[in-house]
Structure 1
């Protein structure tokens, strides 16, 4: 198995840096969405609501994350594994999740979409880039500087799930949000497995972005019954992910990378 050699980084990864960026991301996105004055449950009412309520914050966060990652010099460890997981078969878990998102799209009431609304909803694809780069990119790199891979998986997935509690501050109901937190933890496990088995964060970004888009799309108009099946398939994939994640954690040698002597 080919393993990438460590390369010097501008700034040595530290846990507090990853946590600070994770918190900073939530603050930036939360403040921008709150200032928009559009409640969370009203984003789907119009193209304008969706773009101002969610799109603007994602665009700004994407730019800030690109700048931050570049200044840290963490692009390589954030985006790539030194070596793939020894076990590739857990890849079936994200494949199941991909099947679930296809079911969502198949059951979407596309006739209920206007051109403007579809264009605004495409901005949601940025969720895959921003949340993956923060959680399973920057934060993961920081945690690997000190912790074993099992803790890296658990903490990145747990914080990813807990980050969805912010929706309560934007007007989302608490009971539904708690379920979203648990589902996000399972989703985080799916995306972690996809990173470890493919060796890159890119596919996790793609799957994450398309999944969130498919969930939102299925909520427009009158969705077909297949979307309910898709949700069950996705949750099943997450549970199977919990049972198989140990196989992609085992033998991981991703801890830390040297700092540049010029830093």
Structure 2
């Protein structure tokens, strides 16, 4: 099959189709698992595999292999959030399995869409920081749908802001490790912890502060992402991209 070059226009078209699969369709369920997320993940994976630059899109293992350590701060942070979420007691095993399954599908689908396809398309036209900020902004906009679906405009705004900040560190680690796979793990654990927290927040007051707590929680991660993309590292990333395109 002929490989395709993922440009910005193509990436935006793929994003529109991806949104149609995740938001435009009725959320299908199979035992509680969102099949729309599965379809969106498969679509993003097929597009990623069809690209002629799999290494630059992040489908390979982290390179160099020691760059795995870069994911340790957000991963440990996510694990801490998980412990906090379960401080009041463990959820039911069946509920944990459903949350874990959906969190894994969401992480796979969103990382392939935003950090493999969309970020690659933006980098085809823009420098590193504009590409990171634009991909993170779109990541945040998409997350407003969760709040708007329930009519909670304030919650939608807070969730979009938190997703934007998360997008910065996710993109930074994706670029520094040259792989989407490490952040899929962190993304999945984070969503698992967050949904567990929401399910455990039975009291109205406790549930109402979760969006604010989530926003404050991602601020240190965003600062970590900014540090990872400091000037010296951006120069190395640009050099690597130039060598891969030769």
- Separation in 2, partners of 1:116, 1:218: 16
| Residue of structure 2 equivalent to 1:119 | 97
- Separation in 2, partners of 1:68, 1:199: 18
Q: Is the 8 A contact 1:122 1:213 kept in 2?
A: yes
- Separation in 1, partners of 2:177, 2:117: 18
| Residue of structure 1 equivalent to 2:23 | 30
Map of 1:68-83 to 2, 5 A cutoff? 68-79=47-58
* SS of aligned partner of 2:143: helix
- Separation in 2, partners of 1:84, 1:65: 22
- Separation in 1, partners of 2:49, 2:221: 34
RMSD: 3.5
| Residue of structure 2 equivalent to 1:174 | 153
1:11 to 1, 4, 26: 4
Normalising by the residue count of structure 1, what TM-score does the alignment of the two structures yield?
A: 0.73
- Separation in 1, partners of 2:15, 2:27: 22
- Separation in 2, partners of 1:141, 1:197: 14
Q: Which moved more, 1:141-150 or 1:104-113?
A: 104-113
- Separation in 1, partners of 2:215, 2:74: 9
* SS of aligned partner of 2:4: coil
Task: Extract unaligned runs of 5+ from structure 2.
Answer: none
Deviation of 1:62 after TM superposition, in Å, equals 1.4
Q: Is the 8 A contact 2:38 2:109 kept in 1?
A: no
The count of aligned residue pairs is 230
Map of 1:21-170 to 2, 5 A cutoff? 21-32=14-25, 35-36=26-27, 51=32, 55-79=34-58, 91=70, 94-109=71-86, 111=89, 113-123=91-101, 124-170=103-149
Q: Is the 8 A contact 1:148 1:255 kept in 2?
A: no
* SS of aligned partner of 1:250: helix
- Separation in 2, partners of 1:125, 1:11: 27
Q: Which moved more, 1:172-181 or 1:230-239?
A: 230-239
Q: Is 1:20 matched up with 2:5?
A: no
Deviation of 1:239 after TM superposition, in Å, equals 3.3
Q: Which one scores higher on RCO, CA 8 angstroms, separation ≥ 6?
A: 1
* Pair 233,29 (structure 1): closer, same or farther in 2 beyond 3 Å: closer
Deviation of 1:255 after TM superposition, in Å, equals 5.9
